[in-house]
Amino acid sequence: MKDGFNAFEMAQAQFDRVADLLSLESGMRELLRWPMREFHFTIPVRMDDGSVRVFRGFRIQHNDLRGPAKGGIRFHPQETADTVRALATWMTWKCSLVDIPLGGGKGGIICDPRRMSPREQEQLCRGWVRQIFKNVGPVSDVPAPDVMTNAQHMLWMLDEYEILAGGHYPGFITGKPIGMGGSLGRTEATGYGVMFCVREAMRRLGREVRGMTAAFQGFGNVAQYALRWFTAAGGRAVSVSCWDAHDNIAYTYRRGDGVDPDFLVSITDSYGAIDRQKAVAAGYEVLPGEEWIKQPVEILVPCALENQINADTVRQIAPSVVLLAEGANGPTTPDADPVLKQRGIYVLPDFLCNAGGVTCSYFEQVQAAMNFYWDKEEVLKRLDSIMTRAFHAMADLADARGVFMRDAAYMIAVERVAHAARLRGRA
C-alpha cells in the first residue's frame, strides 16, 4: 500500500460493481470476492557476506474453479499481501475472459533483486519453492515470471521443485528458458497481446494503427515488445518512461519524431532502466517520469505498476487521446473511470489487454504436457486468435448492453467463474 492506495480494495470494488450488474446472489459474491487460500512465509537466505537475511514471501490462490491457479511471482521491495491478493483476483478474471482453463493466483517476495547477487537470488528462488512445495504443482497452481523475475529465476524454481518431487515436471512453472521447457513466443506474448487488442480497437473505431501516436509508461518486457510491434505497424511512439534505480526516480524519454525501440533496448538494463546519458547523447529529451501521461498523443499505454491513472492524474491526459491500452495490472483506479467515460476514451481493460502473457503460459503448459513444442509462428497465430476473439466478445457485449468496456469484460469473466461454481455445487 502506498499513499493510501490499496490494490485489493480496488479489485473488490470493481467486482462489487459487476456483481450488482449481474445480480449475483449473496453467497456467490462472498465466494468470489475473497481468495480461496493464502500462504505467508519467511525465507532465510545466507547472503554473500555470511549474514543471514530473512525475506517475506507470499502465494495467494484466489480461485481454481475453472482450473489450476495461475499467476506470476513478483520480486519487489514494496510488495504487500494486499497487492498480491489483488493481482491473484485479476488473474482469475483474466483467465476467464480469454477462456483458458485456469484460475487465478499470484506470488511475491519482498526484496530488491537489483541489490542481490545471482547466488543470493538463486537461494531466494529455491527457498520460496521449499516453503510452498506442497501447495503448488502442474495440476494445482502454476507460477510464472512477473515484475523483476525472469526465465533464470523460473528455472531455479523448477529445478528445486523437481529435486523435491523426484521427477521431471516441466509444467510446474512457465516462462522458462527456450530449450528447458519454455515456449517460443513467450517473451513477445504480453506486449504483442496488448497490440493485438489495440489493432482490433482501431478497426472498431474505423481507424488504423499506421500513423497513430502513442506514449508508453514502463520499459520492461511488456512495453518493449508492444513498442516494437507498434512501430513496425507504422505507429509513432513519442515517449517512453521508466524507473531509474540509480537515481530512485522515474524519467520520461521523449523524441518528437519517434523513439527507436531497438536503440533504447540496447541501452537498457535487465530491469528496464534506460541509460540516461546515452539517451541524451542520442537526442532524447529527458522529462520527469509523470510527464508520460501528459503527452499530446492518441494512445496511452501504461505498462508499469498499479495506481498510475487515478482521480488526480486522469485529468492530465491530453485532449488528443482516444485510446487507453492497459498493459499493466490495475493501472487505472475506479475513481478515474468516470472521467474516461465522460471524455469518451476507448478503454482496453488490463485483464484483457495484458492477457497475452498468461495465454502463452497456458500454451507452454500444453506443450510441456505433450513434450512437443510449436514454432514461434504457430504460437503467435494462436495467441492472436484468442486475443482477437476475447476482444470482440467484450466489445460486442459493451455495445449490446450499453456498458463501459471494463464492465463488459468483468461481466463475461465473473459470470463464467460463477457458472463453474454453480456446476460444481460450490454456491
Query: What residues are labeled active site?
Result: 106
Of 337, 328, 288, nearest to 308 by C-alpha is 328
Q: Confirm if 183 and 367 have CB atoms less than 8 A apart.
A: yes
Rounded CA-CA distance 345/294 in Å is 15
Q: Residues in the chain, how many? A: 427
With a CB cutoff of 8 Å and minimum separation 6, the contacts of 87 are 7, 71, 72, 74, 106, 146, 329, 330
Of 419, 414, 427, nearest to 96 by C-alpha is 414
Residue with cell 464492465: 407
- In order, the DSSP letters of 135-195 are G-BTTTEEEEE-TT--HHHHHHHHHHHHHHHTS--GGG--SPPTTTTPPTTHHHHHHHHHH
With a CB cutoff of 8 Å and minimum separation 6, the contacts of 113 are 75, 121, 124, 148, 149, 271
Rounded CA-CA distance 371/171 in Å is 10
Residue with cell 498499479: 306
